[in-house]
Amino acid sequence: MNTMNSTVTSNNETTEAPAVPVQDERPAETIIQEGVTVGSPYADDPKFKLRDVEVFYGESRAIKKISLDIARNEVIAFIGPSGCGKSTFLRCLNRMNDSIDICSVKGELMLDDQNIYDPKRDVVELRARVGMVFQKPNPFPKSIYDNVAYGPRIHGLANRKSDLDDIVEDSLRKAGLWNEVKDRLDATATGMSGGQQQRLCIARAIAVSPEVILMDEPCSALDPIATAKVEELIAEMSESYTIVIVTHSMQQAARVSNRTAYFHLGHLVEVNETDKVFTSPDHELTESYITGRFG
C-alpha cells in the first residue's frame, strides 16, 4: 500500500506538481474509508445482495468489507488497478474460489435471497445459474459440438439427441457463432481462432441457461475485431442475462456497462452509473484512475 501511495505522490511531484489538488497527497488509506462506497451501490430487488464481503488468502485480506447490489439484467463493470481484488470478488459470486485451499470468504452473499456460501448450498446448481467466461479462451480439447453440449449433458438438460442439437444450435446462434461453425461442428475447438474460441466459451456458458454470466477480462486475449464482436454480444445478451464483467479497458467498461464499480486495494471505492463514473466521478481516486494517473 505504501508503494502505491508513494507512486501517486512521486508522480505528482515530478510531472504535474503545481496542478495537484491538495487531497491527492494524502495516502490512499485515509481517502478510502473501509466499508464505505460512494455513489449508488444499492438497488431495489437486486439479483445479488452482497454485504460486508471479506476474502482472505491465508492471513492476508484481499477484499475488505465490500457491500454491493447487482440489479437484475444489468451489465455491471468492475474496474480498478491490477491486484485490486476485482477478479477475486467476481469469483466469489459463483464460488470459484472454493478450489483455492487457503481462500476463505466472510460476509453475506445472497443470490435471489439465498445464501451463496451456505455450507449446504449445492455448488453445482449455483454454477448452473451463474455461468462464467474466463480471461483466456479455454475450450475443451473436444469438438465444437461437444464443448457446447458439455453443460447440458452434465445437467441432464436434454432428453433426446434432437433436444441437445437444438440447445447447441440455439447457444451458438446467441453467441453469434452459428454461421461460422455450422458446417464443422465436429471439428476440434482448439483449432478455432482466439475470438471464435472465446465466443464458443460464451456459447458454452449460455447453453446451461444461466441467469447471470460472470466475465473475467473476456477480451484481454483478443484482437480489436474479436473484441468488438464479443462486446456486441454482451450488449445483446444484456436483455436476458445479468452480466458482471471485469475489465482493464475503460473504454470497454464505458461501452458495454450500465453501472461501473471502481475497486482499489481491496476496497470498493465507488459505484455509479457508467456515464457518471467516466464524466464526473464522485471519488477522487476514481477520477485519478480514469484519467490515467495510475493503474
Q: Name the site residues for another protein (rule: CB under 8 A).
A: 94, 96, 99, 101, 123-128, 131-132, 134, 136, 138-142, 150-151, 154-155, 190, 201, 204-205, 208
Q: Which 3 state secondary structure label does DSSP give 223?
A: coil
Residue 189: exposure state from Cβ atoms within 10 A (0-12, 13-18, ≥19): buried
Q: What minimum distance in Å lies between the beta carbon of 139 and another protein?
A: 8
171 vs 274 by CB, closer to another protein: 171
With respect to another protein, which residue has the nearer C-beta, 72 or 129? 129
Name the minimum Å distance from CB 127 to another protein: 4
Angle in degrees, 0-180, between the axes of helices 194-206 and 161-174, rounded to the nearest 10 = 130
Min CB(96)–another protein separation in Å: 6
Nearer to another protein (CB atom), residue 76 or residue 203: 203
DSSP 251: H
Least Å from the CB of residue 46 to another protein: 22
- Cell numbers placing 258: 450500465
Mode of pairing for the β-strands spanning 103-111 and 259-264: unpaired
Least Å from the CB of residue 39 to another protein:
29
Backbone φ and ψ for 109, nearest 5 degrees, come out as -120, 110
Nearer to another protein, 42 or 150 (CB): 150
Smaller CB separation from another protein, 233 or 269: 233
The nearest distance, CB 48 to another protein, in angstroms, is 17
Rg (CA), the chain: 20
Grid cell of 253 as nine digits:
467498461
Say how far apart CA 52 and CA 239 lie, in whole Å: 29
> Would you call 110 exposed, middle or buried from its count of C-beta atoms within 10 A (0-12, 13-18, 19+)?
middle
Cβ distance to another protein smaller for residue 12 or 97: 97
